[in-house]
Structure 1
Amino acid sequence: MNVDLFDFELPTDRIALRPASPRDSARLLVLDGAETRDAIIRDLAQQLRPGDCLVFNDTRVIPAQLEGTRGEARIGATLHKREGPRRWRAFIRNAKRLRDGDAIDFGPNAVAIASDRADDGSFALDFQGDEPVELLLERCGRMPLPPYIASKRPTDERDAEDYQTMFAAEPGAVAAPTAALHFTPELMASLEAAGIGHTTLTLHVGAGTFLPVKAEDTEDHKMHAEWGRITPEVADRLNAVRAAGNRIVAVGTTSLRLLESAANADRVIEPFEGDTAIFITPGYRFKGVDGLVTNFHLPRSTLFMLVSALMGLDRMQAAYAHAIETGYRFYSYGDSSLLLPAR
């Protein structure tokens, strides 16, 4: 499909620079079949049915942005996928000053050797020494805010908390599963009281999620692989939800993409552990989910393509026009939507 089909005018002031406070006060646009409703995320239980099951991503964002030097040259690195105990694949700023075998000094006792430059310009970084890389990043790294936020303000101490979900448990992501940022213990209690269940999976979100689609046709866009896991216990529970006639609702496109990667042609979710590079565009037949909670995405992005596949392109263009006109806030720290396609 032509990527221009997924374009729309988004005023820059609609991109949120801070999350709603409290988190569950964010607005919620509900697309329920052909019906459209304006709501608040703390009232999510009223928009779902008893027996529905929400699926959260329990990945934890690591401070994956590093600033260093190679000789006199300043080098920036954004880690995006672990390739070994001490090796990470990284996008590099000022990559023209870097060659295979060069050492980058990221700070006290934080040196990495660059190698294996890929076609997308990324390098493998092998961190030297025996200190756990996680401790090195806590000391030298910073939270990797999306470029649409980071270009407008610096990362600060608030982001260390704001950019983690309440489910964050498994370190490894370099971007937050932002749909879950709206959830609070109070909201979860209201969902439980309404008979709405939840479970978790793990998908370590990579920096490739921020990359623009530069191709003119979706067929020519390549997704970066991300590692994920669905345990047998979680797969069994979700299949039982479906068997009882209830719905699986992914919280975030990361949860949705992993569920779709794990679902077979009979709509059975199988245990999964490994990489996925699934790219969902209109025409895709969904097998793993019956609905989605997600934030508002940017024009021409793979994520707007995904929600258009779920609800229909015309439906999403109209919904986004309504969201822009009525002041919804977009992107990682923005408002939320609940997408429930007609069955």
Structure 2
Amino acid sequence: YGKLQATTERVALTTASVAHCAAKNVPVMHRLKHGRQYSIGGRTVVEDRQISEGGFAFVWLAHDVVSHEELVLKKILCQDKAALTMAQREVDLLERLPQHPNLVRYYGHTILGTEGKKTKEAILLFEICPGGHLLDLLDRAQGVLGEDRILAVFAEVVAGVAVLHAMRPAIQHRDLKVENVLLGADGKFKLLDFGSWSDECSDTASLDKHAISALQEHIERYTTMMYRPPEMVDFFNQFVISEKVDIWMLGCILFTLMFYRHPFQDESALAIANARYNFPSTPEYSQKLQDLSHWLLARDPGDRPTSRELLQILHGFKECDRPLTLPKAVVERWEQSSP
């Protein structure tokens, strides 16, 4: 994203790999005559070609032997019980998610392994999203989308997040970023990669040292540093970790769509903890959109809107001339940091 380097704390192997190749017109496969065959979700699927790997996960392009529909397999090598539990946890959520145009379509899974051996293989089947991720969208537009396009794209991302937050208990995605939003064949932007999800709210002020240490380890392992909100990088703030972490991450995505750079691209924990970032003067946007960006990046999660409120705000955003009513703390913090 200009100078922005798309770094992650772990390799999240998903359909993004296929989408990126498709968006760049890179040939990603030559079908094998004898690829492995799987029975998943009532389909018979044959793997065609591995197109990505990292850690203990592998992504393959595949096809349905009956319909010839192109699909994506995410294969997770589980070498111990903990790894298998994490893979099963992702599957459990995918099976609970409702079908929604802004969530990547999941078709089922299978778990393979040899009896008596610890290593198992979890194989998850997804739709293919050939339009690329949000970074591809920005690249194609040379970093300038225009306010109307930004709002339209962002509203679809928020709609996907709102589905998660409407579940009971509310689901926190916890790894929202431009690479985890894909453009599907139906023209809709879709969330993917649910391996970091949580439905637990943590009041860091009430946790003991052992619980704090365990929570820190989990955050460092399963979230992306430059997208983490203040409550995840500095427990001394004593904020509650809840679904409002996703609202902060949405703020990072919105900022990136606006300026082709991440607000915390240097990954400074101190800058994140204090919600300090530079707001570029160009391209120029309406005051209302600027205010929305600041609101989502509020230091205190209690000052951020809910995903439902955000959807309501985005509906008719341009038609309504009324300015946003921001929390006092958000206004004061931005006024203090402005030159």
- Give TM-score, length-normalised by structure 2: 0.27
Higher strand share: 1
Report 1 or 2 for greater relative contact order, CA contacts < 8 Å, sequence distance ≥ 6. Answer: 1
Higher helix share: 2
